[in-house]
Amino acid sequence: MTNPPVTLESLFNAQRQIQVLAYGKDPSEITDEKERIQFIKDMNLALQDELHEFLQETGWKPWATSNHVNEQAAHGELIDAFLFFLNLCMVTNFDPESFADKFFEKINRNLDRQLAGYDGITGKCSHCKRAMDDPGVGCYPDPKHPGYSMCVAHLEGK
């Protein structure tokens, strides 16, 4: 496989091609919900494992004397993690354009939070602890009880 011009779309396409060639399936075409959930779980665990492998390429343990970062091996682990991350994007129909849009929305929201004195607590749902200004969270301040919130997931028994 030759290197196309590097864009987020080219990275998604390359990973999609590998998935189809190696495993016979484009993650974005998994429609059976049980199969999608299993794939999401498998990719999530694989991603976490690669991030643990990445961590092992550093001297992160405060009780040890090693202060190293094996950059070449660390880069390999980050690539492995990114491949599993791309699979998660594809199986949840998160295309490159939407990803870029959401990425910059989140960067701007995080900057706004920091400039406003973000403390990690204010603006979070009192039930699920998610940020109420994140799209899709479904939580909002409870007008009857200041300091508390209404949480869609909590109200639905999730």
Neighbours of 47 (CB within 10 A): 19
User: Where are the extended beta strands (E) located within 30-157?
Assistant: 139-141, 149-151
How is residue 92 written in tokens? 């949840």
50 DSSP 8-state letter: H
Query: Which one-letter amino acid corresponds to residue 100?
Result: A
How far apart, in whole angstroms, are the C-alpha atoms of residue 2 and residue 30? Answer: 27
How far apart, in whole angstroms, are the C-alpha atoms of residue 116 and residue 111? Answer: 9
At how many degrees (to 10) do helices 96-115 and 8-23 cross?
A: 130
Q: What residue spans define the domains of the chain?
A: 8-100, 121-158
How far apart, in whole angstroms, are the C-alpha atoms of residue 23 and residue 133? Answer: 38
Q: pTM of the entire structure?
A: 0.85
Neighbours of 90 (CB within 10 A): 21
29 DSSP 8-state letter: G
Q: What pLDDT was estimated at residue 20?
A: 98
pLDDT (tens, 9 = 90+) of the chain, 158 residues, equals: 678 789 999 999 999 999 999 999 999 999 999 999 999 999 999 999 999 999 999 999 999 999 999 999 999 999 999 999 999 999 999 999 999 999 999 999 999 999 999 998 888 888 788 888 888 777 877 788 777 777 766 555 54
Q: What share of the chain is helix, strand, coil (3-state, %, to 5)?
A: 55, 5, 40
